[in-house]
Each structure stands twice: as C-alpha cells, then as structure tokens.
Amino acid sequence: MRAVVVRPPAAGVALEDVPAPLLPPGAVRVSVLECGVCGTDHDIVGGRYGRPPAGSEFLILGHENLGEVAEVGAGVDGFAAGDLVVATVRRGCGRCRFCRSNRSDFCETGDFTERGIGGAHGYMAEEYVDVPAYLVKVPPALRRVAVLLEPLSVVEKAVFQGQRVLDRKEPTPGEPKTGTPTALVAGTGAIGMLAAFLLRVRGYEVVGVDRHGDDTPAAKTLARTGVAHANVLAGFDVLGKRRFDLVVEATGSATLDFALIDRLGPNGVLVLTGIPDADAPPTPVPGGALLRDVVLGNQAIVGSVNANRTYFEAGLRDLTVFEERWPGAVGALVSGRQPLEAFRDVLTTHPGGTIKMVLTVRPGGAAGTAP
Ligand code: BGC
C-alpha cells in the first residue's frame, strides 16, 4: 500500500510502497479517507521529533485521521464495513494504572507509543489496523469535519483540565451566581480556533489573539462565533489591563507562555498545549515578578498533552453543537484538501492564512461526500 514515510531523526519525507498490515482476530481494518497535518508532523519531517516503531527503519506519518471500516476481524462486535471511524493516537505502556484504564494520556512511565509520532505507525497510508478500544465511530453527518476530531480531543482535554482548577471559583450553595467567565486564547491555528469555539459553547466571553490583522480567515471565522480578535504582533498592550479567568496557549512559543502568565486574573489558570522547542535559545523572563503574582493570585499553570477516547467522544458531541450553532465555521478551519501526491508540499510549507491542511488519501466515504 502507499504510505507517507519518514525516517527520524533524519529530516525528509517520501511516498513509498509498504506492506499492508495483517488483520488479526479482534481487530478492524480501516481504509483511510483523510489526514490532517499539524505542527507535530512538520517537526517530524524537519527531523526534530518522532521515532520509528521498534525494529522498523521508517515510520508511517499521520495522527489526525478519518477512515472507513473496510473489514472486521473475527470476534469484533459493533463495527461494520462502511462505518466512519477516527482512531485515537496514544497506545499505553500497559503497566501504569492510567494506561491500564485506557487513559494513556496520563501515562506515568513514559513507555507509551503514539501512532504516527513515536514508536507506532500512523495513518497517512491507504490502510491501518487497530482494535475497537481505540476506534471512535463518527456519524455520517460529521463526514466533512471529523478529520478535526483528533485536534479537538486535545482541546477538550486541555479545557477540561483548566476547568477543574477553575471549579474552585464556583459559588458555594447559597451564594449568588458569578458573572460570565472570561478566556484568552493565544494562537489561531486549529487548536486555538477549536478552543475558542469550545469556550464560547461553554459560556465564556473569549478573546483570540495572534500576530495578524482582522482580515485573515481565522479572524473572520472567530468574528462569526462571537470571539473578539486582537493582533498582538506589537505586544499585549493592545489588550489594555485585561486579565482572564482561563488562558489557553496554542502556539508552542516559550516566550509567549511566560507573557501569558501576566494575563491571568485572580485565581486564574493558564493551560499550555503548544510544545515548545527544547533547543530554542533560553528565554529571559522576570521570574521573580511573574511567580510572585502566581502565588499571590492563587494562579495555576497546567500543561496538557494528548487525549484519551473520552475526549474524542466529548469532541464528537461538541462538533455537532458547533455545526448547529455556527454552520460551516468548523469546515472553514480546513484551508484546503490536497491529494496524497501533494504530501511534500503540504508537509514542508505553511502558507500564510492556512489554518489546517488536509491530505485526501481516498476520496468518498460514508455519506458519499467526495471532497
Ligand atoms: C498530538 C498528540 C500528541 C502530541 C505529543 C500532538 O500533535 O495531537 O496526540 O500526544 O502531539 O506527541
């Protein structure tokens, strides 16, 4: 079968013929429809991240996925050919209590693998095989947007973690209701955009910031969902003295991470989702002043990575809500769909204004909506 392969730690990417996976009993064969491309893929192709499976000299790339069940192995119930499915990414170590309960996003040994990223083949191939525990069935009505379910799952988890900290601000029985909570989302890539949508649905007043004007596809889409947009290219002073209950970071810039601490309100929480470059030059920060305010303000900084299937399931419910509330807004995050043959261009360039590029592995799929 054809697959997009990388050989980390070497930079580079190729479309190659590789053996199709065998279908063991208890597993499902999935025909891949499309794969989203994200910063992690760019980092792997650039030789900065990623690891082939043990014993393999290459890694099949791709973790943001949508496919159609092609064949159901012996002993599998609840799946049929033609079902749309999205697969989760992380596979647990099998030893820690989190991995043993399908919550490998909180793995404590670090011995997990991630399909398409580290130690396990991904989904940028004609087919893959996996077991039902990792496959989330998608209703046909979400065919056009379900490739965004994996990034949304990451957002669902991040917002949930932040919310858990913020729950301490909830009124106790008998106290009057509090006002509208406020959120700042830093970054308007797919993660930032989906975070903004989710926070609107959760009742937050939301400001989204990036380093562009109001005329980009991202800023225009935010406007449709009632999110205020600000260009912080010249610094955060454009926000005046505003502070927020929840700040969600989705850029991977360590410098920005520190700047965002300063935007936390009393008892607020900053959730970091972007993965900073460990080899970036050191970032000078006014550590004393920042951390003093963190302590005196009861503030929290939480990192959040990956997502287990419960967040994929939450994401499915919210994709439906987004579609009902702002028809077409989620679809607008897909800046373009390209055939698999365009892999090199899509994986090595990032044209301005692009939110999410998608590689079409096989057009069609349930609901017959060929891209
Ligand atoms: C993926 C996560 C993964 C993380 C770290 C992200 O791009 O969406 O599933 O855990 O990279 O490898």
CATH fold of 154-303 reads Rossmann fold (3.40.50)
Q: Find the 47 Cα to ligand 1 centroid distance in Å.
A: 16
Task: Please give the span between the terminal C-alpha atoms of the chain, in angstroms, as a whole number.
Answer: 22
Statement: residue 330 has pLDDT above 80: yes
Distance, CA of 230 to CA of 192 (rounded, Å): 13
Top mutation candidate among 251, 275, 306, 347 for ligand 1, by most atoms within 8 Å of CB: 306
Q: Find the 289 Cα to ligand 1 centroid distance in Å.
A: 32
Q: Is the CB of 154 under 6 A from ligand 1?
A: yes
Q: What is the band of 368 on the pLDDT scale with cuts at 50, 70, 90?
A: very low
Q: Find the 39 Cα to ligand 1 centroid distance in Å.
A: 9
From-to residues of CATH 3.40.50.720 in the chain:
154-303
The mean pLDDT value for 262-275 works out to: 97
The mean pLDDT value for 263-278 works out to: 96
Top mutation candidate among 6, 37, 38, 40 for ligand 1, by most atoms within 8 Å of CB: 40
Q: What is the band of 371 on the pLDDT scale with cuts at 50, 70, 90?
A: very low
Distance, CA of 366 to CA of 349 (rounded, Å): 31
Q: Is the CB of 146 under 6 A from ligand 1?
A: no
Q: What is the band of 195 on the pLDDT scale with cuts at 50, 70, 90?
A: very high
Top mutation candidate among 63, 104, 150, 309 for ligand 1, by most atoms within 8 Å of CB: 63
Condensed to tens digits (0 to 9), the pLDDT of residues 175-187 reads 998 899 999 999 9
Q: What is the band of 365 on the pLDDT scale with cuts at 50, 70, 90?
A: confident
> Among the atoms of ligand 1, which is closest to the Cα of residue 38?
7
Percent of the chain with pLDDT over 90: 96
| Res 364: pLDDT | 81
Residue appearing with tokens 């749309």: 84
- Which CATH entry fits the domain spanning 2-145+334-360: 3.90.180.10, 3.30.559.10, 3.40.430.10, 3.30.70.2190? 3.90.180.10
The mean pLDDT value for 117-130 works out to: 98
> Is the backbone of residue 174 left (phi > 0), alpha (psi -120 to 50) or beta?
left
Q: Is the CB of 360 under 6 A from ligand 1?
A: no
Q: Is the CB of 273 under 6 A from ligand 1?
A: no
Phi, psi of 361 (to 5 degrees): -85, -45
Residue appearing with tokens 């858990």: 164
Count of CB atoms within 10 A of residue 225's CB? 19
Q: Is the CB of 305 under 6 A from ligand 1?
A: yes
From-to residues of CATH 3.90.180.10 in the chain:
2-145+334-360
Distance, CA of 123 to CA of 120 (rounded, Å): 10
Condensed to tens digits (0 to 9), the pLDDT of residues 51-65 reads 999 999 999 999 999
Q: Is the CB of 114 under 6 A from ligand 1?
A: yes
Q: What is the band of 127 on the pLDDT scale with cuts at 50, 70, 90?
A: very high
Condensed to tens digits (0 to 9), the pLDDT of residues 204-230 reads 999 999 999 999 999 999 999 999 999
The mean pLDDT value for 314-326 works out to: 98
Q: What residue owns the CA closest to ligand 1's atom 1? A: 306
Element housing 299 (H / E): none
Q: Which of 74, 75, 3 is nearest to 32 (CA)?
A: 3
* Average pLDDT for the chain: 96
Q: What is the band of 370 on the pLDDT scale with cuts at 50, 70, 90?
A: very low
* Encoded amino acid at 21, one letter: P
Distance, CA of 345 to CA of 92 (rounded, Å): 33
Q: Find the 296 Cα to ligand 1 centroid distance in Å.
A: 33
> Among the atoms of ligand 1, which is closest to the Cα of residue 49?
12
